[in-house]
Amino acid sequence: MRPDKLAIIIPCFNEEEVISYTIDELDILMDIMIDEGLISAASQICFVDDGSKDKTLDIIEKTCQNNTRFSLIKLSNNFGQQNAMIAGMFNVNADIYVTIDADLQDDHMTITDMVQKYHDGCEIVYGVRNKRETDTFIKKITAILFYKLMNKIGVKLIYNHSEFRLLSRIAVEKLKTYREKNIFLRGIIPLIGLKSDCVYYDRLLRPAGKSKYSVLKLFSVAWTGITSFSTFPLRLITLTGLLTFLISIVIIIYSLFSFYTHKSIKGWTSIIMTASFFSGMIILSLGIIGEYIAKVFIEVKNRPLYHIEKTLNIK
Ligand code: UDP
Ligand code: MG
């Protein structure tokens, strides 16, 4: 086994109640993994402070001063969990990267299994929770609906996987080639491909502090997920336009029929014909514009067309 350098990346936003516990737990875990020869002694625990307003930063700074195993990246403002994790992965030099939430709700002891899978040849290892017993009712329902919807509109997601994952240096290099700004890592990572696997764990309760995600913030993440990965909402306008247009033809035929059989009052036929015809045309036109916007959206994201995993005899 190679003694590869591990970096555990922890995004933190107002985590003063829990951060000391996290520091102690991860320190112990690092010792265990180094003793077992899974990782090198130069491995790092990197906290990314995402603009905390409480004592989180003070606690991390003091820890870094006493122990060089710990490091800090302080962001100048609250940029959100996704950006904080990216800042960590793109600014720390390591062979293996593991991202985990500061509250250690995702059982950190599973990191050992993740690293083991990395040594078995995996470039990406997803942490997948077994059950959602510790989640609130709203979170459970919205999560199930979200996965179902994403699946329907063709976005590949790992079911019950959030932001607890291992990425090898190679996987992080590939991730850097995705230049989009509306980041939704759960959608991008499966696009990278490479050899991957899952480790399963029971999600624990938050030991202290409150969730940083309100229902509104959860919806905002879900909306980023949908709109960064799918042009389906735009396609829906085209489909609605086509349907309205077809219905308008039926309405026009009916109104002409009423006109010639003298069933309609004066003026009704012309009003209903123009109203239904132009409604159909307007929605259809919006849909066609949407189709072009969808193309621009895909071009602007400038995603890599492919990733080469291996070549042989290429000169
Ligand atoms: N977080 C962050 N920036 C934010 C919101 C959250 O860095 O704007 C971090 C937070 O400190 C934690 C992780 O993201 O480490 C997940 O947050 P939380 O545990 O509150 O989410 P939940 O478990 O409720 O989904
Ligand atoms: Mg949490």
Per-residue pLDDT tens for 161-172? 989 999 999 999
State pLDDT tens for residues 168-192.
999 999 999 998 888 899 999 999 9
Ligand number nearest to the C-alpha of 215: 1
Distance CA 127, CA 159 (A): 10
Q: What one-character-per-residue DSSP string does 164-232 give?
A: EEEEEHHHHHHHTT---SS--HHHHHHHH-SSEEEEEEPPPPPSSS--S--HHHHHHHHHHHHHHH--H
How far does the centroid of ligand 2 lie from the alpha carbon of residue 148, in Å? 22
Ligand number nearest to the C-alpha of 100: 1
Question: What amino acid is encoded at 17 in this protein?
Answer: E
The torsion region of residue 105 among left (phi > 0), alpha (psi -120 to 50) and beta comes to: alpha
Q: Tokens 């969730």, residue? A: 211
Is 308 buried (19+), middle (13-18) or exposed (0-12) by CB count in 10 A?
exposed
| Cα 263 to the center of its chain, rounded Å | 58
Average of per-residue pLDDT across 44-70? 95
State the closest ligand 1 atom to the C-alpha of 10, by its place in the atom list counted from 1.
Answer: 15
Distance CA 268, CA 160 (A): 56
Backbone angles phi, psi at 191, to 5 degrees: -70, -25
Which residue minimizes the CA distance to atom 13 of ligand 1? 101
Pocket test for ligand 1, best of 10, 13, 25, 72 (most atoms within 8 A of CB): 13
- Given the DSSP bridges, would you call strands 70-74 and 96-99 parallel, antiparallel or unpaired? unpaired
> Please, which residues bridge with residue 129 across strands?
201
DSSP 112: H
Which residue minimizes the CA distance to atom 8 of ligand 1? 80
pTM for the whole structure: 0.86
How far does the centroid of ligand 2 lie from the alpha carbon of residue 105, in Å? 6
State pLDDT tens for residues 64-118.
999 999 999 999 999 999 999 999 999 999 999 999 999 999 999 999 999 999 9
How far does the centroid of ligand 2 lie from the alpha carbon of residue 182, in Å? 22
Binning pLDDT at 50, 70 and 90, where does residue 215 land? confident
Q: Of 221, 59, 240, 213, which Cα lies nearest the Cα of 135?
A: 213
Question: What amino acid is encoded at 189 in this protein?
Answer: I
Residue 1, pLDDT > 70, answer no
Average of per-residue pLDDT across 305-313? 81
How far does the centroid of ligand 2 lie from the alpha carbon of residue 24, in Å? 18
Distance CA 236, CA 287 (A): 8
Show the ligand 1 pocket: residues with CB < 6 angstroms: 11-13, 15, 50, 78, 80-81, 84, 101-103, 105, 211-213
DSSP 92: S
How far does the centroid of ligand 1 lie from the alpha carbon of residue 17, in Å? 13
Beta-strand (E) ranges in the chain? 6-12, 44-49, 70-74, 96-99, 124-129, 161-168, 196-201
> Please, which residues bridge with residue 201 across strands?
129
